[in-house]
Amino acid sequence: MFFTYLRRELRRRRRAALVVASGLALGIALVIVVTSVSSGTGKAQDKVLESLYGLGTDMTVTKAAEPPSDSGSDRPRRPRFEFDAQDEGSDEEQSSDRVMVQGFQTLASSTVDEVGELSGVADAVGGLSLQVVKVSGQFRRGQVQQDGRSGQGGPDGGPGGGGSSPQGRVQGGGAEFDVNSYTVYGTDVTESALGPLTSSEITTGRTFEATETDAEVAVVDSAYAEEKELEAGDTVTVKGTEYKVIGIATATSGDAAANLYIPLKQAQTLADAEDEVTTVYVKATDSQRIDDVKSAIRKNVPGTTVTTSADLADTVSGSLSTASSLATGVGRWLSVTVLVAAFLVAGLLTSSAVSRRVREFGTLKALGWSSGRVTRQVAGEAVVTGLVGGVLGIALGLAGAYAVTSASPTLQAQLGGGTGGPGGGGPGGPGRQAARTLDVALSAPVDLTTLALAVGLALAGGLVAGAFGGLRASRLRPADALRRVE
């Protein structure tokens, strides 16, 4: 009887039911789209952060920047390049390169063990970021031409003389030198799950093996390999040492952390930085303990700067940050406002429909229906209407999310140099000294949680509407209802 009456009433009042369902559908669809876009901006931001210091890293530890002294004696020395004089007539090409630690700030390798032993730390690994500057070119000798010129010089052309002396003039000659600067990152090959290389995918060749702790091998970033026309199996020379290219890595998001990756021991040897690292990458046992681990590192490892994902997120600006703020702030408030309005409208329309069915409900009560049964009937109709609105809202929301994903609007993420300093593990990551801009494609993924939220909102909307109408219907008295003429 309940479902038969329900079906007949909804069919008879399908226009009113469709209006109520459409209002709820718009509110639910807006919630789905805003939630999906918010999730998409969050994932886009995660990709940007992963490109800074690698996938799986919860925080980085670098040496705290020292305040500059007034004397300036603590300033890093500029690299010096010296070229030997060649034999006469020789125009051979000369080259000289200098390997410098990024930021000139290093930590002892023992810091990695200190951090790894702290409570809440699942793993810790060190890395050394280097900057290589190579100057190469050749000198061209000029030709000396002799010509005579009169003057007032003394004997032999000296001052006070009246004779003339031959004058030499050099024509031609000069020098042509190219300056090539690139970054090299020393990675711990025994710990492949942490560090900047985890944000890249090996597309050609292979990655490091755990036994290659001091091997002369290198993994090259794909962009740098294309620029220098390098392939797996080729060799690259750094400070006189040849490294065999075993793999080409392509950054999965943003740009790569370095142009070349080599074993940590090799990097320390090149930079004369034995037992030193620039960055310690830390993975916590639980994401809920990141703040506790950060505090523990600051307390137990003095003189260091700890940077978490949350700290890095604060440095991301541009359209990505704007979209994230709109989705989490204005978008959610807008969706809540529209949803509340839809609930209220549904409740008022249901209540209005009850007022037009006074004689109907009065007759049902006269036939023996209780107030509770009448209320349940009205509430049931409202819940079904809400579910219909939920189905329509999910369809509209999925269509909106699909449209956003298909369009894939490009957002820009501007990354500052950060407080970690050049080569540090803070914002900017290894080898990043200046602000830069990354392009990130926005998507709007819809997960099961979002769909469950939509169903819950549909049921809530139906219950709100049913509460309005049911309360109105329960207060009707049969005698008053039957006396009313419509």
- 220 and 345 share one domain: no
Residue-level pLDDT at 164: 47
- Tell me, yes or no, whether 423 lies in a domain: yes
| Closest CA relative to residue 279, chosen from 157, 127, 169, 444 | 127
| Closest CA relative to residue 54, chosen from 153, 123, 149 | 123
- 278 and 329 share one domain: no
- 281 and 193 share one domain: yes
For residues 233 and 90, give the distance between their C-alpha atoms in angstroms, rounded to a whole number: 34
Residue-level pLDDT at 269: 92
For residues 111 and 279, give the distance between their C-alpha atoms in angstroms, rounded to a whole number: 10
- Tell me, yes or no, whether 312 lies in a domain: no
Place of tokens 């900057």: 131
Final residue belonging to a domain, choices 252, 279, 302? 302
Final residue belonging to a domain, choices 302, 337, 353? 302
CB-based contact 103:70 (threshold 8 Å):
no
- 292 and 321 share one domain: no
For residues 239 and 23, give the distance between their C-alpha atoms in angstroms, rounded to a whole number: 70
Q: Identify the residue with better confidence: 106 or 467.
A: 106
- Two tokens, residue 420: 């970690």
Least confident piece of the model among 41-50, 106-115, 169-178, 340-349:
169-178
Domain that holds residue 340: 2-55+317-483
Q: Residue 100 above 90 pLDDT? A: no
- 215 and 269 share one domain: yes
Q: What is the DSSP string of 143-162?
A: EEEEEEEE-SB-GGG-BT--
- Two tokens, residue 126: 């060190």
- 466 and 358 share one domain: yes
- 208 and 243 share one domain: yes
DSSP label at residue 315 = T
For residues 25 and 393, give the distance between their C-alpha atoms in angstroms, rounded to a whole number: 4
Q: Residue 180 above 60 pLDDT? A: yes
Residue-level pLDDT at 264: 93
Letter for the amino acid at 353?
A: A
pLDDT digits (tens, 9 = 90+) for 16-38: 778 878 888 888 888 888 888 88
Q: Residue 362 above 90 pLDDT? A: no
DSSP label at residue 159 = B
- 202 and 256 share one domain: yes
- 18 and 101 share one domain: no
Least confident piece of the model among 86-90, 219-223, 228-232, 332-336:
86-90
Number of independent structural domains in the chain: 2
Helix axes 332-355, 14-53, angle to 10 degrees: 170
- 179 and 37 share one domain: no
Residue-level pLDDT at 79: 58
- Tell me, yes or no, whether 340 lies in a domain: yes
| Closest CA relative to residue 108, chosen from 265, 282, 281, 279 | 279
- 252 and 118 share one domain: yes
